[in-house]
A and B are shown apart, each in its own frame.
Chain A
Amino acid sequence: MKSHNQHDSKQVLSIKDLNVRYGNETVIEDISFSLTEGEILAVMGPNGSGKTTLFKAILGSLPYNGKIILGPETKIGYVPQKIDLERNLPITVEEFLLLRVQNLKYGDVLSPETALGLVHMGAPFLHKKFSELSSGEFQRTLIAWALIGKPNLLLFDEPTSSIDVAGQETVYDLLHHLHDSEKFTLLLISHDLTVVYRYATKVLCLNHSQACFGIPKDVLTPTGLKRLYGSGNFYKHATV
């Protein structure tokens, strides 16, 4: 785990009494936490516990009650989990990345080539169609999409831990390197305890309401996990 200097720890995200409803159903109830620059927050919780909804609220793409305060210079990058994107679209990687740039409201961005470089994909990929990408390359492209706007807060919805054929590097390794080089704050949805222990500086346990928040070794106790997932229904240390 990385340790971070706390001396100029600027607040990047602060959430107070967040509530989200879909119709009559309360999906998120009274969540409050805050993050400072450079932190890695792992969001854990069973399926349907409101993790993705939390991300969408932070992105401002659904209505909520309570406060979500972003730092004055916070720029968000978002890597969705199940992307609603068809793989056989007639679109090249470069065109896709430029769509992000062209729809951003500020000008300070990376070139598609630089963004692809960050996820270890070379310039020849710029002109490949989506249908020509492997699933690993596709996920990297989505990460490049998030990085191209130079975010200082990256929301990552459950990376699959599949190993990419190219570099034998997992998405987590890549994220870890990027976190070091690009200095963003990272919010990560993950079920993988090994990943959480290894990389996260904070953990948020979500089960509609806030089951825990704190440093992994303090809050991820057997009792805490049992309360979150029910008995035994979580990943053990062995993976990765």
Chain B
Amino acid sequence: MPSFGFLQAFIAGMFIAASAGMLGSFALLKRMALVGDALSHVALPGIALGLIFNFNPFFGAFVFLMSGALLIWIAEHKTKLPVDALVGIFFSVALAFGAMLTPKEELLEALFGNVTKIEPFDFWLAIILSTIVITVLYSFSKKFILTFISPDLSLSVGLKPHRLELTFLLIFALSVLIGMKFAGVLLMGSLIIIPAATARNIAGSMYSYVLLSVILSVIGALLAVTASYFYGFQPGPAFVIIAGAFFLASIFFKK
């Protein structure tokens, strides 16, 4: 009989995966898969500071992620610097700092996550924040979709693409923060991107694309938590392998 801890991990995993899968489907429309991957790295120094100075690493990660999102936005809209390179360099350096600062015994978990060790506080936070991410994405979905598929058309109907992009980046950072517990700093990007990429291969409409991305992500997460419970795998890497397998299969179904 699965313990309460397992149930908690199961439920938290479901919420985290649903929000990440939904976010991913939007992120992939904007071709910002790699930005998201890099963004998750910036959380590590925040986690490290939390561990060193004895405050909840969640808050450290939160501050660093939000600042990271803001920095990406500023680099994209207020400067003429090449964003890709900048993001790649800046966030890799952040990861390096984080890796050096994080105590050895905590490093593995920070890098790869472990939802089966979730504390009650983190559990509720994950559920509340996931719900916020899903709600914001849902209520902005028409604006986000139009803006991401065509900034020109978005402008022409009077939307404000820059502002929407900032909103999205902040939600993105929030989603990374939540997923950290599940997949860790290194693999969080895949939690967001792989289900969306898989859904894109097989979806016949925007609606089915977003929905499939959520469903695939949730199935992957539930399988990963189950695998970790019964076979002792780490859920983060297990998720990435399962999601990767789905993606591989989807290539053959590609319409």
A27 nearest CB across to chain B (Å): 16
Are A99 and B146 within 8 A (Cβ)?
A: yes
Which chain A residue lies CB-closest to B141? A102
Contact A83 B205 (CB under 8 A): no
Cβ contact within 8 Å between A85 and B157: no
How many of B's residues come within 8 Å of A, CB to CB?
26
Give Cα distance in the complex from A31 to B127, angstroms.
56
Instruction: Please report the C-alpha to C-alpha distance between residue A91 and residue B203 in the assembled complex, in whole angstroms.
Output: 9
Q: Is the CB of B149 within 8 A of A80?
A: no
- Beyond A90-B200, A92-B206, is A59–B153 a contact (Cβ under 8 Å)? no
Chain B min CB distance to A112 (Å): 13
User: Across the interface, do B157 and A100 meet the contact criterion of CB distance under 8 Å?
Assistant: yes
Does A60 make an interface contact (CB < 8 A)?
Answer: yes
Q: Evaluate contact between B150 and A103: CB separation under 8 angstroms.
A: no
Q: Which residues of A contact B207 (CB under 8 A)?
A: 95
Contacts of B146 in A (CB 8 A): 99-100, 103
Q: A99-B142, A103-B142, A103-B143 are in contact. Are A91 and B149 (CB under 8 A)?
A: yes
Contacts of B5 in A (CB 8 A): none
Check if B152 sits within 8 Å of A84, measured CB to CB: yes
Determine whether the beta carbon of A95 is less than 8 Å from that of B153: no
Which residues 31-84 in A have Cβ within 8 Å of B in the complex? 56, 59-61, 76, 78, 80, 83-84
B204 touches A80 (CB 8 A): no
Residues of B contacting A95 with CB < 8 Å?
205-207
Q: Which of chain A's residues has its CB closest to B146's CB?
A: A99
B132 contacts chain A at the CB level, 8 A cutoff: no
Please tell me if the beta carbons of A90 and B204 are within 8 angstroms of each other in the complex: yes
Given the known interface contacts A84-B150, A84-B151, A90-B206, the answer about A103 and B200 at a Cβ–Cβ threshold of 8 Å is no
Give me the interface of B with A, judged by CB distance under 8 Å: 29, 142-143, 145-146, 149-159, 199-200, 203-209, 255
Chain A residues engaging chain B, CB cutoff 8 angstroms: 56, 59-61, 76, 78, 80, 83-86, 89-92, 95, 99-100, 102-105, 127, 129, 145
